[in-house]
Structure 1
Amino acid sequence: MGMNVLTFFEASPDEADAPTVDDLQAVTEDVWLALVGEDEVLVPRMVPPGTPFDATGVWSSSVTVSGGWAGVVTVELDEGVAQQLSARMLALPEGEPVADGDIADAVGELVNMVGGNVKSLMPGPSVLSLPAVAAGRAAFASDVAEVCRLDLAWRGAPVRICIHVPA
């Protein structure tokens, strides 16, 4: 399924215990495959560093890993992606409306699966928080720094997955 070159930020040497963009890419591909199947791949998007997530309507979610390793995993999805992904996960007929509560559950499950896989790669023991989900852009605390980011597209719409660690 392999994704090619992606826009990303790599951890600096003093953040060497952070996951790499290759780790995040592998985890994301595995989770996406499990959720939507082999016929629906994510493709790389070229986005300049520092660019805010560029979807008009957005669903975002995050989980916090704490313990042997500390970090925050976030997922931001175009609203259409969130609706289509939710319908796919719930096996709803094509075009059937998806309730906001179902979208929140699906987006939360996506970040939970990515976050759990990231947690398993890092020194432990660690615990994963419950997902926080919002209709809107993700807000980041001032005491965290982005260490890697994937900018992707699904069915032509933007998807962003990031890892932040304490600054």
Structure 2
Amino acid sequence: MSAEQAAAAANPRADDVRTLTHQVWTTFLGEQIPLLFVEDNTFIPDWSASVTIRGAWDGMVSLETTRACAQRVTRALLGLDADADDLADADLVDAVGELVNMLGGNVKGLVPGPSRLSLPLVAAGRFAHGSHQARVVRLCSSWAGEPLDVTVHAGRATASREQR
């Protein structure tokens, strides 16, 4: 087996990521509003979050969604009424970051170890993955009528440095 084939074999499979995403979602957000997997999502995310996995397997797990979905997720995780007043961005950061952290921890369990999981990074808008990372899984889904994507990239992100 070549090094490329071995690396590809270590990547998580889409079915496994779909299963763990569904498990995380129903465990923390319940089954009243189902997470629906769809063929494709075309949207510009208002919120993105990611965690990196470093070790025997290197990669990144990210979550992208709309503001409406992030607000609904936050209300559900905090046990607030669905029509509660507008939430602070700090609450959205905490909730979206916690979800990607749970997803990343589960993906970490799918890949060869040992490895470390980073703290979540959360931003308004879209994150860019490292230029040396390749997308290996993209799950398009919908929750409460809002798009939500979970993506796994493999490969070590490298920092570029300018030559002086």
The bucket for the TM-score relative to the shorter chain is: 0.7 to 0.9
Q: Alpha-carbon deviation of 1:39?
A: 1.5
Seen in structure 2, the aligned counterparts of structure 1 residues 129 and 112 have a Cα distance that, compared at 3 Å, is: same
Q: Which residue of 2 aligns with 1:115?
A: 104
Match of 1:19 among 12, 27, 30: 12
Deviations 1:7-29 (A, max 9, x none): xxxxx955110000011001100
Letter in structure 2 aligned against 1:23: D
Give the % identical residues.
Answer: 43
Aligned to 2:161: none
| Contact 2:45/2:64 (8 A) holds in 1 | no
Q: 1:56 to 1:148 in 2, by over 3 A?
A: closer
Q: Which amino acid aligns with 1:165?
A: A
Residue 8 of structure 1: aligned partner: none
Instruction: Say which is worse superposed, 38-47 or 122-131, in terms of deviation.
Output: 38-47
SS of 2:62's partner is strand
Secondary structure at 2:39 match in 1: coil
* Aligned counterparts of 1:116 and 1:20: Cα–Cα separation in 2: 15
Whether 2:75 is the aligned partner of 1:82: answer: no
2:49 to 61, 64, 74: 61
Q: Which residue of 2 aligns with 1:36?
A: 29
Match in the other structure for 1:99: 88
Q: What is the alpha-carbon distance in structure 2 between the residues aligned to residue 126 and residue 141 of structure 1? A: 18
Task: Give every structure 1 segment of 4 or more consecutive aligned residues whose post-TM-superposition deviation is greater than 4 Å.
Answer: none
* TM-score with structure 2 setting the length: 0.86
Measure the CA separation in 2 of the matches of 1:75 and 1:56: 12
* AA aligned opposite 2:43: A
User: 2: CA distance between counterparts of 1:155 and 1:40?
Assistant: 6
Q: Which residue of 2 aligns with 1:5?
A: none
Consecutive unaligned residues of structure 1, counting only runs of 5 or more, are 1-11, 48-52
Deviations 1:91-136 (A, max 9, x none): 1122221110000000000000000011012111111000000010
Separation (CA, whole Å) in 1 of partners of 2:22 and 2:143: 12
How many residue pairs align between the two structures? 151
**Structure 1 position 56, deviation (Å):** 4.4
Distance 1:143 1:126 in 2: 19
Q: Distance in 1 between matches of 2:17 and 2:54?
A: 18
Q: CA RMSD in A?
A: 1.6
- What is the CA distance between 1:55 and its match in structure 2? 2.8
The corresponding residue for 1:157 is 146
1:57: Cα distance to partner? 5.0
Looking at CA atoms only, which structure, 1 or 2, has the larger radius of gyration? 2
Partner secondary structure for residue 87 of structure 1: helix
What TM-score do you get using the length of structure 1 for normalisation?
0.85
